[in-house]
A and B are shown apart, each in its own frame.
Chain A
Amino acid sequence: MSAATEAAPIAAARSGTGGRRRTGGYWRRVGRHVWRDKVALLCCVILAAITLAAIFAPWIAPADPYKTSMLRRLQPPLTGNYLLGTDELGRDLLTRLLYGGRVSLSMGLAPVVLATVLGSALGIVAGYFGRHINMAIMRVVDVFYAFPSVLLAVAMAGVLGAGIFNSLISLTLVFIPPIARVAESVTTQVRNQDYVEAARATGASAPRIILQHVLANVTGPILTYASSLVSVAIIIASGLSFLGLGAAPPIADWGLMLNTLRQAIYVAPINAVLPGVMIFATSVSFNLLSDSLRTAMDVRA
């Protein structure tokens, strides 16, 4: 990858394939920029490590995440077989941190992915058709934008009831409005471009124009913006679990672990703050990566 040659975009005769080729070249350039950015690379390594650890937790974890031991509660790190100590029920903390990534990472990523799909769809339709359709969609979006994001997430999750699925719904709902707004404003800029006019003049249908011409040109900005939301999503998702609105015990989840270990903060402060280190590392990495992605995409010309 580092020795990738400067692949000039092949000028294809058909506009459809031409658009796709161009995007490939653009994305490759973005990839190369991120690759050269040392900080971003380090973040990639950290995130990859956390993700792989979560996926392969059953094979690499030293203990059973659910095996409690009343005798060995809140052991400090580096005691016996417990590399990071134990939690308030005597379960191995390292094991639970590894397993915890499964729920916490999915709870942070899934809402952003869902909201990106739904929000972009809403925003692109609103931006492309304009006028009344734009009004109808964007006013509804504005209403949800009129709530502070954490408040909306907590209120929705609280109303629907605790649980992973309900937090997923409420987080998705929180992230749809900002993405829809970005998608709408980019699409509004794109739809008056000459190539869209030209496509319309040749009699292409609206869905065809959107899928072939608009989508390719709005994906970049939307994805950059969405990537900046992942860090917030991880924090709020774990926050919901921290409030007891997300994952239910005894599932290992960083936010939930932080919640249950909070009672032990005076007895075993190190153990109590450990799950937060994982949330922090993940969220910082996503943030720095998204920063790098943004600079990379700015060098579009």
Chain B
Amino acid sequence: MHFYVLRRLLYTVPIIVGVTLVCFSFIHLAPGDPVSAVLPENATAEVAAQIKAAYGFDRPLPIQYLKWLWNAASGDFGMSIMSRRPVLSEVMPAVANTALLAVTAIIVSFVLGISLGLIAGFSDRRITDRSVTAFATIGISVPHYWLGMVMVVLFAVLFRVLPATGMGPAGTQFWHFSVDDFRHLVLPALTLAMIPTGVLARSVRAMVAEVRRQEFVQTLKGKGLRRGRTFVHIIKNAAPPIMAIMGLQFAQLLGGSILVETVFAWPGTGFLLNAAITTRDLPLLQGAVMVLAMFFVLTNLIVDILQTAVDPRVRRS
């Protein structure tokens, strides 16, 4: 067990280095000069060179990378070119807002997806199974940004029961524990929950069906175990892989809510990335992507370790 965790941790190191390399290369992949966004139209070459030096863009690439990495390790991702504030202080509140959305969405999809999957997996009626599968397929195929628009049309324009955009009254950037803020959370969270719900329902259904077909279930039934007890045995066998899928979905939500956030004007990382792209604020883009990717790697790591802790079969393989 400890050996496995250690190996998994070591395996993460090159990935993290690779991720930092990719994020670093963003600035240099971009067409044009990294500082062109802040340069005045008629800037002389001298001024341009000065500004470049101020941001450290005049050094050789490996040096720039190491310096950037060193700073990043201590939480300094440089300065946002547009707002001239430290990147991290812009990114962190946005990450918190995105995480709030993602956590709510994953809880909703956990409850919905697992119950639907269990119903379909244990039901012997074709129609139940078929309808759950159909719903789940719609869930994974729907363009979620469009679903968000449909939600707005239905609940904000037609029925006028929920607010269409924003996180709270008057464009607030921080979430408060109030009824009104909860109302703002409903539509984006439901929209975001659609994909993981579909994925979970499908995999739970498949997993339950597969475990039910295994011989030990027949044996349990054969020895006269009550239905409820057999159910527990089946769940125990199906749970670990489903947990892994859920972790992965959560991680995807953290980075994948960009489109939904745009629809609902949710002040999260998606919103921030969008702003960074339109203003060509590359340090901000770089920092936001880096922080999100790190969360993604970390979530995957935790899921893997948890899975080995729960499921001895993974350890042995």
Contact = CB atoms under 8 A, between A and B. Distances in A.
Contact of B15 (A143, A158, A284): A143
B254 interface: yes
A53 interface: no
Contacts of B201: none
A291 B254 CA distance: 27
Interface string A275-294: 11001100110111001000
A279 B296 CA distance: 28
A149 B293 CA distance: 10
Given A242-B259, A280-B146, A269 B22 contact: no
A287 B285 CA distance: 32
B137 A235 contact: no
- Scoring A142, A146, A245 by chain B CB atoms within 10 A of each residue's CB, the highest score goes to A146
A29 B302 CA distance: 43
Nearest to A282: B141
**Among B137, B143, B285: residue with most chain A CB under 10 A:** B143
A104 to B, nearest CB: 11
A287 B150 contact: no
Contact of B145 (A159, A239, A266, A269): A239
B157 interface: yes
A283 B285 CA distance: 30
Contacts of A160: 29-31
Contacts of A244: 278
Interface string A230-267: 01000100110011110000000000001000100110
Interface string A150-190: 11001100111100000000000000000000000000000
A262 B293 CA distance: 30
B152, B256, B262 interface centre (most CB from chain A within 10 Å): B256
A56 interface: no
Given A139-B14, A146-B297, A276 B138 contact: no
B138 A265 contact: no
A266 B30 contact: no
A276 B293 CA distance: 29
A150 B141 CA distance: 15
Contact of B251 (A148, A245, A279, A284): A148
Contacts, number: 136
Contacts of B147: 276
A188 to B, nearest CB: 15
> Could you tell me the dominant secondary structure of chain A's interface residues?
helix
Given A276-B146, A280-B141, A147 B256 contact: no
A299 interface: no
Nearest to A281: B141
A154 B145 CA distance: 14
A155 B18 contact: no
Interface string B42-80: 000000000000000000000000000000000000000
A155 B141 contact: no
A148 B252 contact: yes
B293 A146 contact: yes
Given A139-B18, A287-B137, A158 B285 contact: yes
Given A149-B252, A245-B277, A273-B153, A280 B19 contact: no
A1 interface: no
B30 to A, nearest CB: 5
Nearest to B294: A146
A84 interface: no
Contact of A143 (B18, B138, B276, B277): B18
A239 B143 contact: yes
A272 interface: yes
A13 B141 CA distance: 46
A35 interface: no
Contacts of A239: 143, 145, 259
A279 B252 CA distance: 21
Given A142-B15, A160-B31, A279 B158 contact: no
A143 B146 contact: no
A7 interface: no
A144 B144 CA distance: 23
Contacts of A269: 153, 157-158
Contact of B293 (A147, A266, A288): A147
Contacts of B262: 242-243
Contacts of A211: none
In this complex, the member of A143, A144, A258, A279 whose beta carbon has the largest number of chain B beta carbons within 10 angstroms is A143
A3 B273 CA distance: 55
Contacts of B119: none
Nearest to A291: B137
B296 A146 contact: yes
Interface in B177-219: none
B254 A148 contact: yes
Interface string B132-176: 000001101111111101101100011000000000000000000
Interface of A: 139-140, 142-144, 146-151, 154-155, 158-161, 231, 235, 238-239, 242-245, 258, 262, 265-266, 269, 272-273, 275-276, 279-280, 283-284, 286-288, 291
16 contacts: A139-B14, A139-B15, A147-B293, A148-B254, A150-B259, A151-B256, A155-B285, A158-B276, A161-B31, A235-B141, A239-B145, A243-B259, A262-B149, A273-B146, A276-B145, A286-B141
Given A147-B19, A262-B263, 4 more contacts: A143-B19, A154-B258, A154-B277, A258-B149
> Which are the 7 A-B pairs with shortest beta-carbon distances?
A148-B255, A276-B146, A143-B18, A151-B255, A158-B277, A150-B256, A269-B153
